[in-house]
Amino acid sequence: MQKPLILITNDDGITAPGIRNLVNFMNEIGDVVVVAPDSPQSGKGHAITINQTLTFEEISLDGPQKDYSLSGTPVDCVKFALDKILPRKPDLVVSGINHGANSSINVIYSGTMSAAVEAGVEGLQAIGFSLLDFSWDADFSQAKEYIQNIAKKVLENPLPKGVVLNVNIPKLLKDEIKGVKVCRQAHAKWEENFDERINPHGKKYYWLTGYFNNMDTGDDADETALANGYISIVPVKFDLTAHEELEHLRKMME
């Protein structure tokens, strides 16, 4: 039987430890092709490159997979892979493993998740994986079995077209992870401040700072699951229509 073809991308860059661990995990499941940004693209959301040219190159990294670096965003990587690199449509698109959380509101800012959502736009099976550890030296191996199991289950039981999975993993040892919970996105947001500073030439500049405000304590929310030691899985789709408001709005506009 033909092995599943798995496309891997991320937003931390093609040499980031997170994606290199994910490549190793997926090499045990299928034939892997990596198309990832040549530099960090965190926080780019669903951005695409339209006013600059793109370049790519095949690079040599450890493992049997093929690795291509692209001078674009995570969404560019998915689009480019489908059009120019892959021999056929992939059976699975996997994005990550992100260094840091993409739970709750973070999903809309995340390049990692936007790559997965772009795959969903194309009708492909896709998962975004994130570990709640921003460290470059984060230990991704603790979640290996969970990551592989989730990927296998999606391959064996395809999701509805347009639906992709947002998987977040707590920063815990394997034996400390309590399991997996399917959740909804928590109601949370970032409370931002722009820290004003002066450069040596007397010109003002600003650093974005702030804190994460979780306003949701529901048992079925992803932030609750993560806080209690569970891996959270949230089904995500690109349709942003507020369907529950359609009828009310139609009547209002009469």
pLDDT value at position 1? 67
Note the pLDDT of residue 57: 97
Residue 223 belongs to a domain: yes
Where the chain has pLDDT below 50, the residues are none
Q: pLDDT value at position 137?
A: 93
Sorted by sequence, the CB contacts under 8 Å of residue 82 that are 6+ apart come out as 89, 122
pLDDT at 2: 86
In a domain? residue 127? yes
Q: What is the dihedral angle through the alpha carbons of 240, 106, 231, 14, rounded to the nearest 10 degrees? A: 110
The H-assigned helical ranges of 109-176 are: 111-121, 144-156
Is the residue at 57 inside a domain? yes
Residue 201 lies inside a defined structural domain of this protein: no
197 lies in some domain = no
**CATH number for 137:** 3.40.1210.10
Domain carrying residue 32: 5-185+218-252
Burial 177-209 (b: 16+ CB within 10 A, else e): beebbebebbebeeeeeeeeeeeeeeeeeeeee
Kindly report the pTM of this predicted structure. Answer: 0.93
The alpha carbon of residue 66 and the mean position of all alpha carbons in its chain are separated, in whole angstroms, by 20
Structurally, how many domains does the chain consist of? 1
Residue 202 — left, alpha, or beta (φ > 0 → left; ψ -120 to 50 → alpha)?
A: left
Q: Is 206 left (phi over 0), alpha (psi -120 to 50) or beta?
A: beta
Rounded to the nearest angstrom, the gap between the alpha carbon of residue 159 and the centroid of all alpha carbons in its chain is: 17
Instruction: Assess if residue 199 is contained within a domain.
Output: no
Report the distance separating Cα 41 and Cα 47, nearest Å: 10
| Residue 230, in any domain of the structure | yes
- Residue 205 resides in a domain: no
